[in-house]
Amino acid sequence: MSTYPGRHVPGAMAPASTFARPVPALDEDGLGGILDDTAGIHAGIDMIRDGIRLLALDRLTVRQTQNVLAALAAADPNLTHAIGALVERLTNPDTNPALDALDPQTAKDVQVLGEQYRQHTVDYGPHDLAGEAIARIEGI
């Protein structure tokens, strides 16, 4: 006997929607724990945390997932590059007056480390992995 309804019901035999499954809660040992551990450092960090939490818990479409992955890590430039640029800015005495209290050699060492962080983030970050994930979602 057929399991198809006695009258035509659009979508009745279609595969279950991918949205039928709820988005799982954040894992306290993973992303949720990281977000909790970085709470209260600064209002800007809290805003970033809120954005990450929203992206992790929102019901994204396939296209939104691809666009978010590109913006986070695959596009050139991307938000990973922005974080690298921010680290470089915060470690530069010319752009962060808080570092004026450091002796000149320490300030220069901090600046060089920030520049290296940005370079490593841009040049050596695993951006190709996010790009590969996007391509596989697309079916390429």
Q: What is the pLDDT of residues 97-121, one digit of tens each?
A: 999 999 999 999 999 999 999 999 9
Q: Is residue 64, in this structure, part of any structural domain at all?
A: no
Q: Is residue 83, in this structure, part of any structural domain at all?
A: yes
Please choose, from the candidates 58, 67, 54, 59, the residue with its C-alpha nearest in 3D space to the C-alpha of residue 138.
Answer: 67
Q: Is residue 70, in this structure, part of any structural domain at all?
A: no
- Which residue segment(s) compose the domain that 136 sits in? 76-140
pTM above 0.85, yes or no: no
**Total number of domains in the chain:** 1
- pLDDT category of residue 44 using cuts at 50, 70 and 90: very high
Q: Is residue 5, in this structure, part of any structural domain at all?
A: no
Residue 140: pLDDT over 70: yes
CA angle 130, 110, 43 (to 5 degrees): 65
